[in-house]
A and B are shown apart, each in its own frame.
Chain A
Protein backbone atom coordinates (compact mmCIF):
# COMPACT_ATOMS: atom_id res chain seq x y z
CA UNK A 1 0.00 0.00 0.00
CA UNK A 2 1.57 3.30 -1.03
CA UNK A 3 -0.70 6.12 -0.04
CA UNK A 4 -0.05 9.72 -0.92
CA UNK A 5 0.93 10.30 2.71
CA UNK A 6 3.93 8.02 2.57
CA UNK A 7 5.12 9.58 -0.64
CA UNK A 8 4.61 13.11 0.58
CA UNK A 9 5.99 13.01 4.09
CA UNK A 10 9.66 12.72 3.12
CA UNK A 11 9.23 15.58 0.68
CA UNK A 12 7.72 17.64 3.48
CA UNK A 13 10.79 17.02 5.58
CA UNK A 14 13.09 17.80 2.68
CA UNK A 15 11.15 21.04 2.26
CA UNK A 16 11.97 21.96 5.84
CA UNK A 17 15.63 21.25 5.22
CA UNK A 18 15.65 23.57 2.20
CA UNK A 19 13.98 26.37 4.15
CA UNK A 20 16.47 25.99 6.97
CA UNK A 21 19.37 26.08 4.51
CA UNK A 22 17.96 29.20 2.82
CA UNK A 23 17.45 30.91 6.18
CA UNK A 24 20.97 29.94 7.21
CA UNK A 25 22.38 31.43 4.00
CA UNK A 26 20.44 34.62 4.75
CA UNK A 27 21.96 34.71 8.22
CA UNK A 28 25.50 34.25 6.91
CA UNK A 29 24.97 36.99 4.31
CA UNK A 30 23.57 39.34 6.94
CA UNK A 31 26.51 38.66 9.26
CA UNK A 32 29.05 39.42 6.52
CA UNK A 33 27.28 42.67 5.66
CA UNK A 34 27.02 43.56 9.33
CA UNK A 35 30.77 43.06 9.81
CA UNK A 36 31.77 44.98 6.67
CA UNK A 37 29.57 48.04 6.66
CA UNK A 38 30.60 51.01 8.76
CA UNK A 39 32.92 54.00 8.92
CA UNK A 40 36.14 51.95 8.84
CA UNK A 41 37.14 50.36 5.54
CA UNK A 42 40.14 48.69 3.93
CA UNK A 43 42.05 45.77 5.35
CA UNK A 44 44.58 46.99 7.84
CA UNK A 45 45.50 45.68 11.26
CA UNK A 46 43.73 48.63 12.90
CA UNK A 47 40.57 48.08 10.91
CA UNK A 48 40.64 44.39 11.66
CA UNK A 49 40.74 45.27 15.33
CA UNK A 50 37.70 47.54 14.85
CA UNK A 51 35.84 44.75 13.11
CA UNK A 52 36.67 42.19 15.77
CA UNK A 53 36.19 44.30 18.89
CA UNK A 54 33.42 46.66 17.83
CA UNK A 55 31.49 45.33 14.88
CA UNK A 56 31.56 41.58 15.49
CA UNK A 57 30.16 41.77 19.05
CA UNK A 58 27.29 43.89 17.84
CA UNK A 59 26.63 41.56 14.90
CA UNK A 60 26.66 38.54 17.19
CA UNK A 61 24.59 40.24 19.87
CA UNK A 62 22.06 41.51 17.32
CA UNK A 63 21.81 37.95 16.01
CA UNK A 64 21.27 36.51 19.48
CA UNK A 65 18.72 39.17 20.42
CA UNK A 66 16.84 38.85 17.13
CA UNK A 67 16.67 35.08 17.28
CA UNK A 68 15.63 35.01 20.93
CA UNK A 69 12.88 37.61 20.52
CA UNK A 70 11.57 35.85 17.39
CA UNK A 71 11.68 32.42 19.01
CA UNK A 72 9.98 33.70 22.17
CA UNK A 73 7.37 35.52 20.11
CA UNK A 74 6.58 32.41 18.08
CA UNK A 75 6.40 30.27 21.25
CA UNK A 76 4.12 32.74 23.03
CA UNK A 77 1.92 32.82 19.93
CA UNK A 78 1.76 29.04 20.13
CA UNK A 79 0.81 28.66 23.78
CA UNK A 80 -1.69 31.53 23.64
CA UNK A 81 -2.94 30.58 20.17
CA UNK A 82 -2.88 34.21 19.13
CA UNK A 83 -0.75 35.46 16.24
CA UNK A 84 -0.75 39.03 17.58
CA UNK A 85 1.11 38.13 20.74
CA UNK A 86 4.70 39.24 21.31
CA UNK A 87 7.31 38.20 23.88
CA UNK A 88 6.39 41.20 26.02
CA UNK A 89 2.79 40.00 26.44
CA UNK A 90 2.95 39.03 30.08
CA UNK A 91 4.65 42.20 31.27
CA UNK A 92 8.30 41.42 30.52
CA UNK A 93 8.84 44.75 28.75
CA UNK A 94 7.11 46.83 31.40
CA UNK A 95 9.01 45.04 34.16
CA UNK A 96 12.36 45.44 32.42
CA UNK A 97 11.58 49.08 31.66
CA UNK A 98 10.69 49.75 35.28
CA UNK A 99 13.82 48.01 36.53
CA UNK A 100 15.99 50.05 34.18
CA UNK A 101 14.22 53.28 35.12
CA UNK A 102 14.82 52.60 38.80
CA UNK A 103 18.53 52.24 38.15
CA UNK A 104 18.69 55.41 36.07
CA UNK A 105 16.64 57.39 38.60
CA UNK A 106 18.15 56.24 41.85
CA UNK A 107 21.13 54.05 41.29
CA UNK A 108 23.40 55.72 38.75
CA UNK A 109 25.51 57.77 41.15
CA UNK A 110 25.28 55.30 44.01
CA UNK A 111 26.44 52.39 41.89
CA UNK A 112 28.99 54.19 39.74
CA UNK A 113 31.78 52.55 41.69
CA UNK A 114 30.42 49.04 41.32
CA UNK A 115 32.52 46.62 39.28
CA UNK A 116 29.36 45.27 37.61
CA UNK A 117 26.80 47.45 35.85
CA UNK A 118 23.49 46.96 37.72
CA UNK A 119 21.40 48.00 34.72
CA UNK A 120 21.13 44.60 32.96
CA UNK A 121 20.49 42.90 36.29
CA UNK A 122 17.68 45.33 37.18
CA UNK A 123 16.05 44.91 33.76
CA UNK A 124 16.40 41.13 33.93
CA UNK A 125 14.92 40.90 37.42
CA UNK A 126 12.20 43.42 36.55
CA UNK A 127 11.08 41.35 33.56
CA UNK A 128 11.04 38.08 35.52
CA UNK A 129 9.21 39.58 38.50
CA UNK A 130 6.56 41.15 36.26
CA UNK A 131 5.88 37.86 34.48
CA UNK A 132 5.83 36.01 37.80
CA UNK A 133 3.21 38.43 39.16
CA UNK A 134 1.20 37.99 35.96
CA UNK A 135 1.30 34.22 36.32
CA UNK A 136 0.29 34.26 39.99
CA UNK A 137 -2.54 36.73 39.33
CA UNK A 138 -3.68 34.88 36.21
CA UNK A 139 -3.66 31.54 38.00
CA UNK A 140 -5.80 33.02 40.78
CA UNK A 141 -8.63 33.56 38.34
CA UNK A 142 -8.55 30.37 36.35
CA UNK A 143 -5.10 30.07 34.80
CA UNK A 144 -6.46 29.78 31.28
CA UNK A 145 -4.63 31.43 28.39
CA UNK A 146 -7.10 34.31 28.42
CA UNK A 147 -6.82 34.98 32.16
CA UNK A 148 -3.03 35.09 31.84
CA UNK A 149 -3.24 37.55 28.96
CA UNK A 150 -5.63 39.79 30.91
CA UNK A 151 -3.40 39.64 33.99
CA UNK A 152 -0.47 40.55 31.73
CA UNK A 153 -2.30 43.61 30.45
CA UNK A 154 -2.96 44.75 34.03
CA UNK A 155 0.61 44.13 35.22
CA UNK A 156 2.06 45.90 32.17
CA UNK A 157 -0.21 48.91 32.76
CA UNK A 158 0.82 49.03 36.40
CA UNK A 159 4.53 48.79 35.62
CA UNK A 160 4.31 51.47 32.94
CA UNK A 161 2.37 53.77 35.26
CA UNK A 162 5.00 53.50 38.00
CA UNK A 163 7.72 54.02 35.42
CA UNK A 164 6.05 57.19 34.11
CA UNK A 165 5.64 58.55 37.62
CA UNK A 166 9.34 57.96 38.29
CA UNK A 167 10.28 59.67 35.06
CA UNK A 168 8.21 62.75 35.94
CA UNK A 169 9.94 62.95 39.30
CA UNK A 170 13.36 62.45 37.71
CA UNK A 171 13.08 64.28 34.42
CA UNK A 172 16.88 64.55 34.19
CA UNK A 173 17.13 60.87 33.21
CA UNK A 174 14.30 60.83 30.64
CA UNK A 175 16.68 60.89 27.69
CA UNK A 176 18.78 58.04 29.02
CA UNK A 177 15.73 55.95 29.82
CA UNK A 178 14.18 56.52 26.42
CA UNK A 179 17.44 55.71 24.72
CA UNK A 180 17.51 52.44 26.65
CA UNK A 181 13.87 51.67 25.89
CA UNK A 182 14.41 52.26 22.17
CA UNK A 183 16.91 49.45 22.22
CA UNK A 184 20.51 49.36 21.13
CA UNK A 185 23.24 46.88 20.30
CA UNK A 186 25.74 49.58 19.31
CA UNK A 187 27.60 49.42 22.61
CA UNK A 188 27.79 45.64 22.55
CA UNK A 189 30.92 43.95 23.79
CA UNK A 190 31.98 40.33 23.89
CA UNK A 191 31.19 40.32 27.60
CA UNK A 192 27.55 41.18 26.80
CA UNK A 193 27.48 38.19 24.49
CA UNK A 194 28.95 35.94 27.17
CA UNK A 195 26.43 37.29 29.68
CA UNK A 196 23.30 36.40 27.71
CA UNK A 197 24.41 33.36 25.77
CA UNK A 198 23.85 30.73 28.51
CA UNK A 199 20.27 31.91 29.14
CA UNK A 200 19.51 32.07 25.44
CA UNK A 201 20.89 28.60 24.76
CA UNK A 202 18.92 27.00 27.61
CA UNK A 203 15.75 28.85 26.64
CA UNK A 204 16.10 27.96 22.96
CA UNK A 205 16.71 24.27 23.66
CA UNK A 206 13.65 24.04 25.92
CA UNK A 207 11.45 25.87 23.42
CA UNK A 208 12.62 23.75 20.48
CA UNK A 209 11.86 20.59 22.44
CA UNK A 210 8.26 21.81 22.73
CA UNK A 211 7.64 22.51 19.06
CA UNK A 212 5.61 19.33 18.59
CA UNK A 213 3.52 20.19 21.66
CA UNK A 214 2.80 23.62 20.22
CA UNK A 215 1.41 21.93 17.11
CA UNK A 216 -0.92 19.84 19.28
CA UNK A 217 -2.06 22.98 21.13
CA UNK A 218 -3.22 24.43 17.80
CA UNK A 219 -6.47 22.47 18.20
CA UNK A 220 -7.24 24.31 21.45
CA UNK A 221 -6.67 23.62 25.13
CA UNK A 222 -9.60 21.23 25.50
CA UNK A 223 -8.96 19.06 22.48
CA UNK A 224 -5.25 18.99 23.23
CA UNK A 225 -6.14 17.74 26.71
CA UNK A 226 -8.33 14.96 25.29
CA UNK A 227 -5.40 14.04 23.06
CA UNK A 228 -3.31 13.50 26.16
CA UNK A 229 -1.43 16.80 26.44
CA UNK A 230 -0.91 18.37 29.85
CA UNK A 231 -1.77 21.79 28.57
CA UNK A 232 -1.06 23.84 31.68
CA UNK A 233 2.30 22.25 32.27
CA UNK A 234 3.32 22.79 28.68
CA UNK A 235 2.21 26.41 28.80
CA UNK A 236 4.05 27.00 32.07
CA UNK A 237 7.30 25.48 30.82
CA UNK A 238 7.16 27.37 27.51
CA UNK A 239 6.34 30.67 29.21
CA UNK A 240 9.18 30.23 31.71
CA UNK A 241 11.70 29.40 28.99
CA UNK A 242 10.54 32.18 26.65
CA UNK A 243 10.50 34.72 29.48
CA UNK A 244 13.96 33.75 30.69
CA UNK A 245 15.43 34.20 27.22
CA UNK A 246 13.52 37.42 26.59
CA UNK A 247 14.55 38.92 29.94
CA UNK A 248 18.17 38.03 29.27
CA UNK A 249 18.34 39.70 25.85
CA UNK A 250 16.27 42.69 26.95
CA UNK A 251 18.68 43.28 29.82
CA UNK A 252 21.53 43.96 27.41
CA UNK A 253 19.74 45.36 24.39
CA UNK A 254 16.78 47.29 25.76
CA UNK A 255 13.27 46.94 24.40
CA UNK A 256 13.49 46.11 20.73
CA UNK A 257 9.94 45.85 19.52
CA UNK A 258 8.18 44.34 16.55
CA UNK A 259 10.72 41.59 15.82
CA UNK A 260 8.89 39.05 17.97
CA UNK A 261 5.65 39.50 16.05
CA UNK A 262 6.95 40.16 12.59
CA UNK A 263 9.55 37.44 12.10
CA UNK A 264 7.29 34.50 13.05
CA UNK A 265 4.67 35.92 10.69
CA UNK A 266 7.08 36.18 7.80
CA UNK A 267 8.20 32.62 8.49
CA UNK A 268 4.60 31.37 8.52
CA UNK A 269 3.86 33.07 5.23
CA UNK A 270 6.68 31.29 3.42
CA UNK A 271 6.93 27.99 5.30
CA UNK A 272 3.49 27.33 6.79
CA UNK A 273 2.22 27.45 10.38
CA UNK A 274 3.59 24.20 11.78
CA UNK A 275 5.70 25.09 14.81
CA UNK A 276 8.15 22.39 13.82
CA UNK A 277 9.19 24.78 11.06
CA UNK A 278 8.24 28.12 12.59
CA UNK A 279 10.47 27.78 15.68
CA UNK A 280 13.79 26.82 14.04
CA UNK A 281 13.24 29.20 11.13
CA UNK A 282 12.34 32.06 13.49
CA UNK A 283 15.73 31.64 15.16
CA UNK A 284 17.61 31.97 11.87
CA UNK A 285 15.43 34.64 10.23
CA UNK A 286 15.16 36.64 13.48
CA UNK A 287 18.94 36.73 13.79
CA UNK A 288 19.39 37.77 10.16
CA UNK A 289 16.68 40.42 10.42
CA UNK A 290 18.14 42.15 13.47
CA UNK A 291 21.69 42.04 12.11
CA UNK A 292 20.44 43.75 8.95
CA UNK A 293 18.31 46.19 10.96
CA UNK A 294 21.42 47.21 12.87
CA UNK A 295 23.17 48.40 9.69
CA UNK A 296 21.09 51.48 8.68
CA UNK A 297 21.39 52.92 12.20
CA UNK A 298 25.13 53.41 11.65
CA UNK A 299 24.58 55.39 8.47
CA UNK A 300 21.47 57.52 8.98
CA UNK A 301 22.98 59.99 11.43
CA UNK A 302 26.58 61.12 11.03
CA UNK A 303 28.50 60.61 14.21
CA UNK A 304 25.52 59.17 16.02
CA UNK A 305 23.40 56.04 16.13
CA UNK A 306 19.73 55.65 15.36
CA UNK A 307 18.36 53.22 17.98
CA UNK A 308 17.85 49.75 16.52
CA UNK A 309 14.35 49.54 17.99
CA UNK A 310 13.41 52.56 15.90
CA UNK A 311 14.93 51.02 12.78
CA UNK A 312 13.17 47.67 13.22
CA UNK A 313 9.82 49.44 13.32
CA UNK A 314 10.66 52.01 10.61
CA UNK A 315 11.95 49.41 8.18
CA UNK A 316 9.97 46.46 9.43
CA UNK A 317 6.48 47.95 9.52
CA UNK A 318 6.26 48.97 5.83
CA UNK A 319 7.91 45.71 4.79
CA UNK A 320 5.48 43.76 6.92
CA UNK A 321 2.47 45.58 5.47
CA UNK A 322 3.80 44.95 1.96
CA UNK A 323 4.16 41.22 2.62
CA UNK A 324 0.77 40.97 4.27
CA UNK A 325 -0.81 42.66 1.26
CA UNK A 326 0.91 40.41 -1.23
CA UNK A 327 0.10 37.13 0.53
CA UNK A 328 -2.90 36.07 2.54
CA UNK A 329 -1.77 35.26 6.08
CA UNK A 330 -2.47 31.71 7.17
CA UNK A 331 -4.49 31.63 10.37
Chain B
Protein backbone atom coordinates (compact mmCIF):
# COMPACT_ATOMS: atom_id res chain seq x y z
CA UNK B 1 0.00 0.00 0.00
CA UNK B 2 1.29 3.40 -0.95
CA UNK B 3 0.45 6.97 -0.09
CA UNK B 4 0.20 9.75 -2.64
CA UNK B 5 1.13 13.30 -1.64
CA UNK B 6 0.53 16.59 -3.41
CA UNK B 7 2.45 19.61 -2.16
CA UNK B 8 1.46 22.91 -3.69
CA UNK B 9 1.01 21.43 -7.17
CA UNK B 10 0.37 23.92 -9.96
CA UNK B 11 -0.54 23.00 -13.54
CA UNK B 12 -0.82 25.60 -16.25
CA UNK B 13 -1.61 25.48 -19.93
CA UNK B 14 0.03 28.53 -21.46
CA UNK B 15 -1.15 31.52 -19.47
CA UNK B 16 -4.06 29.70 -17.90
CA UNK B 17 -3.66 28.18 -14.47
CA UNK B 18 -5.60 24.91 -14.44
CA UNK B 19 -4.66 23.76 -10.96
CA UNK B 20 -3.53 26.08 -8.24
CA UNK B 21 -1.56 25.13 -5.13
CA UNK B 22 -3.18 21.72 -4.86
CA UNK B 23 -2.13 20.11 -1.59
CA UNK B 24 -3.45 16.79 -0.36
CA UNK B 25 -2.27 13.61 1.28
CA UNK B 26 -3.99 10.45 0.05
CA UNK B 27 -3.48 7.73 2.65
CA UNK B 28 -2.47 4.19 1.70
CA UNK B 29 -5.57 2.30 0.55
CA UNK B 30 -7.71 5.41 0.51
CA UNK B 31 -10.04 6.37 -2.35
CA UNK B 32 -10.03 10.10 -3.02
CA UNK B 33 -12.53 11.41 -5.54
CA UNK B 34 -12.04 14.79 -7.20
CA UNK B 35 -15.30 16.49 -8.08
CA UNK B 36 -16.10 19.88 -9.53
CA UNK B 37 -17.54 21.48 -12.64
CA UNK B 38 -15.92 21.09 -16.07
CA UNK B 39 -12.55 22.84 -16.18
CA UNK B 40 -12.15 22.78 -12.41
CA UNK B 41 -8.76 21.05 -12.63
CA UNK B 42 -9.70 17.46 -11.77
CA UNK B 43 -8.15 15.93 -14.87
CA UNK B 44 -5.11 18.20 -14.60
CA UNK B 45 -4.36 16.83 -11.14
CA UNK B 46 -4.59 13.24 -12.39
CA UNK B 47 -2.57 14.00 -15.53
CA UNK B 48 0.17 15.59 -13.43
CA UNK B 49 0.51 12.39 -11.40
CA UNK B 50 0.52 10.31 -14.59
CA UNK B 51 3.35 12.45 -15.97
CA UNK B 52 1.30 13.74 -18.88
CA UNK B 53 1.48 17.45 -18.05
CA UNK B 54 4.34 19.48 -16.59
CA UNK B 55 3.67 20.84 -13.12
CA UNK B 56 5.28 22.90 -10.41
CA UNK B 57 5.28 21.62 -6.85
CA UNK B 58 5.95 18.14 -5.54
CA UNK B 59 4.06 14.90 -6.06
CA UNK B 60 5.27 12.06 -3.88
CA UNK B 61 4.62 8.35 -3.63
CA UNK B 62 5.43 7.03 -0.16
CA UNK B 63 7.24 10.24 0.53
CA UNK B 64 9.63 10.19 -2.43
CA UNK B 65 9.19 12.51 -5.37
CA UNK B 66 7.78 11.17 -8.64
CA UNK B 67 9.71 13.79 -10.59
CA UNK B 68 12.96 11.88 -10.64
CA UNK B 69 11.44 8.68 -11.96
CA UNK B 70 11.87 7.47 -15.50
CA UNK B 71 8.60 6.78 -17.33
CA UNK B 72 9.06 3.07 -16.65
CA UNK B 73 9.59 3.51 -12.91
CA UNK B 74 6.66 5.89 -12.75
CA UNK B 75 4.45 3.41 -14.63
CA UNK B 76 5.32 0.75 -12.07
CA UNK B 77 3.98 3.06 -9.34
CA UNK B 78 1.03 4.75 -11.02
CA UNK B 79 -1.56 3.20 -13.35
CA UNK B 80 -3.76 5.62 -15.28
CA UNK B 81 -7.15 4.88 -16.81
CA UNK B 82 -7.96 7.73 -19.21
CA UNK B 83 -11.41 9.07 -19.88
CA UNK B 84 -11.57 7.72 -23.42
CA UNK B 85 -8.88 5.10 -23.92
CA UNK B 86 -7.68 4.38 -27.43
CA UNK B 87 -8.24 0.66 -27.97
CA UNK B 88 -7.04 -0.91 -31.23
CA UNK B 89 -10.05 -2.76 -32.61
CA UNK B 90 -8.25 -5.87 -33.76
CA UNK B 91 -6.13 -6.40 -30.65
CA UNK B 92 -7.25 -9.37 -28.58
CA UNK B 93 -8.31 -8.83 -24.98
CA UNK B 94 -5.25 -10.62 -23.63
CA UNK B 95 -2.85 -8.68 -25.86
CA UNK B 96 -4.46 -5.47 -24.68
CA UNK B 97 -4.09 -6.36 -21.00
CA UNK B 98 -0.53 -7.49 -21.71
CA UNK B 99 0.29 -3.84 -22.51
CA UNK B 100 0.07 -3.30 -18.76
CA UNK B 101 3.30 -5.30 -18.42
CA UNK B 102 5.19 -2.78 -20.55
CA UNK B 103 6.96 -1.11 -17.59
CA UNK B 104 8.53 -4.46 -16.66
CA UNK B 105 9.82 -5.43 -20.10
CA UNK B 106 13.31 -4.23 -20.97
CA UNK B 107 13.83 -2.07 -24.06
CA UNK B 108 15.17 -4.90 -26.18
CA UNK B 109 13.22 -7.64 -24.46
CA UNK B 110 9.84 -9.19 -24.83
CA UNK B 111 7.15 -10.28 -22.39
CA UNK B 112 8.05 -13.35 -20.37
CA UNK B 113 6.01 -16.40 -19.48
CA UNK B 114 5.48 -14.80 -16.10
CA UNK B 115 3.92 -11.72 -17.73
CA UNK B 116 1.57 -13.86 -19.79
CA UNK B 117 0.62 -16.01 -16.82
CA UNK B 118 -0.06 -12.91 -14.76
CA UNK B 119 -2.30 -11.48 -17.48
CA UNK B 120 -4.20 -14.77 -17.68
CA UNK B 121 -4.61 -14.66 -13.92
CA UNK B 122 -5.86 -11.05 -13.95
CA UNK B 123 -8.40 -11.88 -16.66
CA UNK B 124 -9.52 -14.89 -14.66
CA UNK B 125 -9.92 -12.98 -11.41
CA UNK B 126 -11.77 -10.12 -13.08
CA UNK B 127 -14.10 -12.58 -14.83
CA UNK B 128 -12.84 -11.45 -18.20
CA UNK B 129 -11.28 -14.69 -19.43
CA UNK B 130 -13.94 -15.00 -22.12
CA UNK B 131 -12.55 -11.81 -23.69
CA UNK B 132 -8.98 -13.10 -23.83
CA UNK B 133 -9.24 -14.17 -27.47
CA UNK B 134 -11.95 -11.75 -28.55
CA UNK B 135 -11.03 -8.69 -30.54
CA UNK B 136 -11.44 -5.50 -28.57
CA UNK B 137 -13.56 -4.02 -31.37
CA UNK B 138 -16.28 -6.63 -30.74
CA UNK B 139 -16.72 -5.67 -27.07
CA UNK B 140 -19.33 -3.31 -25.61
CA UNK B 141 -18.48 -0.08 -23.83
CA UNK B 142 -18.80 -1.65 -20.39
CA UNK B 143 -16.71 -4.67 -21.37
CA UNK B 144 -14.01 -2.41 -22.78
CA UNK B 145 -13.94 -0.37 -19.59
CA UNK B 146 -13.40 -3.50 -17.51
CA UNK B 147 -10.60 -4.51 -19.85
CA UNK B 148 -8.89 -1.13 -19.38
CA UNK B 149 -9.14 -1.61 -15.62
CA UNK B 150 -7.67 -5.09 -16.07
CA UNK B 151 -4.76 -3.54 -17.96
CA UNK B 152 -4.20 -1.19 -15.02
CA UNK B 153 -4.30 -4.16 -12.62
CA UNK B 154 -1.74 -6.03 -14.75
CA UNK B 155 0.46 -2.98 -14.35
CA UNK B 156 0.72 -3.91 -10.64
CA UNK B 157 1.03 -0.27 -9.61
CA UNK B 158 -0.03 0.56 -6.05
CA UNK B 159 -1.75 3.77 -7.18
CA UNK B 160 -4.69 3.77 -9.57
CA UNK B 161 -5.87 6.93 -11.29
CA UNK B 162 -9.30 6.96 -12.93
CA UNK B 163 -10.38 9.88 -15.09
CA UNK B 164 -14.18 9.84 -15.44
CA UNK B 165 -14.27 6.06 -15.39
CA UNK B 166 -18.04 5.83 -15.75
CA UNK B 167 -19.04 8.78 -17.89
CA UNK B 168 -19.64 6.70 -21.01
CA UNK B 169 -21.43 3.84 -19.27
CA UNK B 170 -25.06 3.06 -18.46
CA UNK B 171 -26.06 2.83 -14.81
CA UNK B 172 -25.55 -0.94 -14.63
CA UNK B 173 -22.09 -0.82 -16.10
CA UNK B 174 -21.22 2.20 -13.96
CA UNK B 175 -21.96 0.17 -10.90
CA UNK B 176 -20.12 -2.86 -12.27
CA UNK B 177 -16.97 -0.83 -13.01
CA UNK B 178 -16.93 0.96 -9.65
CA UNK B 179 -17.65 -2.25 -7.74
CA UNK B 180 -14.67 -3.78 -9.53
CA UNK B 181 -12.41 -0.90 -8.53
CA UNK B 182 -13.68 -1.09 -4.96
CA UNK B 183 -13.02 -4.82 -4.80
CA UNK B 184 -9.53 -4.43 -6.26
CA UNK B 185 -8.71 -1.71 -3.82
CA UNK B 186 -9.62 -3.92 -0.88
CA UNK B 187 -7.95 -7.05 -2.31
CA UNK B 188 -4.75 -5.34 -3.45
CA UNK B 189 -4.64 -2.38 -1.08
CA UNK B 190 -4.73 0.02 -4.02
CA UNK B 191 -4.74 3.74 -3.41
CA UNK B 192 -7.32 5.24 -5.78
CA UNK B 193 -7.73 8.79 -7.05
CA UNK B 194 -10.61 9.37 -9.43
CA UNK B 195 -12.29 12.29 -11.12
CA UNK B 196 -16.04 11.88 -11.37
CA UNK B 197 -19.09 13.84 -12.45
CA UNK B 198 -21.78 11.75 -10.77
CA UNK B 199 -21.81 13.15 -7.24
CA UNK B 200 -23.94 10.40 -5.74
CA UNK B 201 -21.66 7.68 -7.11
CA UNK B 202 -18.61 9.65 -6.03
CA UNK B 203 -19.90 9.86 -2.48
CA UNK B 204 -20.97 6.24 -2.50
CA UNK B 205 -17.57 4.75 -3.35
CA UNK B 206 -14.90 7.25 -2.30
CA UNK B 207 -13.66 7.63 1.26
CA UNK B 208 -13.13 11.31 0.75
CA UNK B 209 -14.16 13.96 -1.74
CA UNK B 210 -12.27 17.07 -2.81
CA UNK B 211 -14.34 19.73 -4.55
CA UNK B 212 -12.35 21.77 -7.05
CA UNK B 213 -13.42 25.06 -8.54
CA UNK B 214 -11.33 27.02 -11.05
CA UNK B 215 -8.22 25.15 -9.98
CA UNK B 216 -8.69 25.65 -6.25
CA UNK B 217 -9.81 23.14 -3.64
CA UNK B 218 -12.89 24.69 -2.10
CA UNK B 219 -14.10 21.82 0.08
CA UNK B 220 -12.76 18.48 1.20
CA UNK B 221 -14.08 15.78 3.47
CA UNK B 222 -16.63 12.99 3.56
CA UNK B 223 -19.63 12.92 1.25
CA UNK B 224 -21.85 14.30 3.99
CA UNK B 225 -19.45 17.19 4.60
CA UNK B 226 -18.91 18.18 0.97
CA UNK B 227 -22.17 17.38 -0.75
CA UNK B 228 -24.32 20.13 0.73
CA UNK B 229 -26.94 22.00 -1.28
CA UNK B 230 -25.49 25.45 -0.62
CA UNK B 231 -21.93 24.33 -1.53
CA UNK B 232 -23.06 22.69 -4.76
CA UNK B 233 -25.22 25.67 -5.60
CA UNK B 234 -22.30 28.03 -5.10
CA UNK B 235 -19.75 26.13 -7.19
CA UNK B 236 -21.83 24.24 -9.75
CA UNK B 237 -24.55 26.88 -10.02
CA UNK B 238 -27.22 24.23 -9.62
CA UNK B 239 -30.10 23.82 -7.30
CA UNK B 240 -30.17 20.35 -5.84
CA UNK B 241 -31.73 18.57 -2.96
CA UNK B 242 -29.49 16.28 -0.92
CA UNK B 243 -30.97 13.25 0.80
CA UNK B 244 -29.26 11.29 3.52
CA UNK B 245 -30.20 7.61 3.47
CA UNK B 246 -30.25 5.66 6.75
CA UNK B 247 -27.14 3.70 5.67
CA UNK B 248 -25.18 6.93 5.32
CA UNK B 249 -25.46 7.21 1.52
CA UNK B 250 -25.74 10.78 0.32
CA UNK B 251 -28.03 11.18 -2.69
CA UNK B 252 -27.80 14.31 -4.80
CA UNK B 253 -30.88 15.02 -6.92
CA UNK B 254 -31.15 18.01 -9.27
CA UNK B 255 -34.26 20.15 -8.77
CA UNK B 256 -36.41 21.32 -11.61
CA UNK B 257 -36.73 25.10 -11.57
CA UNK B 258 -39.17 25.75 -14.40
CA UNK B 259 -42.80 26.07 -13.42
CA UNK B 260 -45.11 24.09 -15.59
The interface of chain A, by Cβ under 8 A from chain B, is: 1, 3-6, 8-9, 209, 212, 215-216, 218-220, 222-230, 272-274, 330-331
30 residue pairs of the A-B complex, CB under 8 angstroms, read A3-B120, A4-B129, A5-B94, A5-B133, A6-B120, A8-B94, A8-B132, A8-B133, A209-B108, A215-B99, A218-B88, A218-B91, A223-B82, A225-B71, A226-B52, A226-B78, A227-B99, A228-B71, A228-B75, A228-B76, A228-B103, A229-B71, A230-B71, A273-B91, A274-B91, A330-B89, A331-B88, A331-B89, A331-B90, A331-B137
Chain B residue at minimum C-beta to C-beta distance from A213: B107
| Cβ-neighbour of A5 out of B70, B72, B129 (below 8 A) | B129
Further contacts, 14 of them, CB under 8 A, given A226-B50, A331-B89? A5-B94, A6-B116, A6-B117, A8-B132, A9-B94, A9-B116, A215-B99, A216-B102, A219-B85, A223-B80, A229-B71, A273-B91, A274-B95, A331-B90
| Cβ-neighbour of A222 out of B52, B111, B132 (below 8 A) | B52
Give the residues in chain A near B137, CB-CB below 8 Å: 331
Give the residues in chain A near B119, CB-CB below 8 Å: 5
Chain B residue at minimum C-beta to C-beta distance from A220: B86
Docked-complex contact B120 and A273, CB < 8 angstroms: no
Docked-complex contact A1 and B121, CB < 8 angstroms: yes
| Cβ-neighbour of B82 out of A3, A209, A222, A331 (below 8 A) | A222
The interface of chain B, by Cβ under 8 A from chain A, is: 50-52, 70-76, 78-80, 82, 85-91, 94-95, 99-100, 102-103, 105, 108, 110-111, 116-117, 119-121, 123-124, 129-130, 132-133, 137, 155
Give the residues in chain A near B72, CB-CB below 8 Å: 228
Give the residues in chain A near B74, CB-CB below 8 Å: 228
Give the residues in chain B near A8, CB-CB below 8 Å: 94, 132-133
CB distance from B104 to the nearest CB of A (A): 8
Report how far A294 CA is from B70 CA in the complex, Å.
48
Chain A residue at minimum C-beta to C-beta distance from B102: A227
Give the residues in chain A near B90, CB-CB below 8 Å: 272-273, 330-331
CB distance from B27 to the nearest CB of A (A): 23
Given contacts A5-B132, A229-B102, contact A223 B85 (CB under 8 A): yes
Report how far A212 CA is from B73 CA in the complex, Å.
19
Give the residues in chain B near A330, CB-CB below 8 Å: 89-90
Given contacts A5-B120, A8-B132, A216-B99, contact A226 B75 (CB under 8 A): yes
CB distance from B256 to the nearest CB of A (A): 39
Report how far A229 CA is from B88 CA in the complex, Å.
17
Chain B residue at minimum C-beta to C-beta distance from A237: B107
CB distance from B128 to the nearest CB of A (A): 10
Report how far A67 CA is from B129 CA in the complex, Å.
38
Docked-complex contact A227 and B155, CB < 8 angstroms: yes
Report how far A211 CA is from B91 CA in the complex, Å.
15
Report how far A246 CA is from B110 CA in the complex, Å.
27
CB distance from A210 to the nearest CB of B (A): 9
Report how far A256 CA is from B74 CA in the complex, Å.
44
Docked-complex contact A227 and B88, CB < 8 angstroms: no
Report how far A273 CA is from B116 CA in the complex, Å.
20
Report how far A1 CA is from B119 CA in the complex, Å.
13
Report how far A196 CA is from B52 CA in the complex, Å.
40
Chain A residue at minimum C-beta to C-beta distance from B95: A274
Give the residues in chain B near A230, CB-CB below 8 Å: 70-71
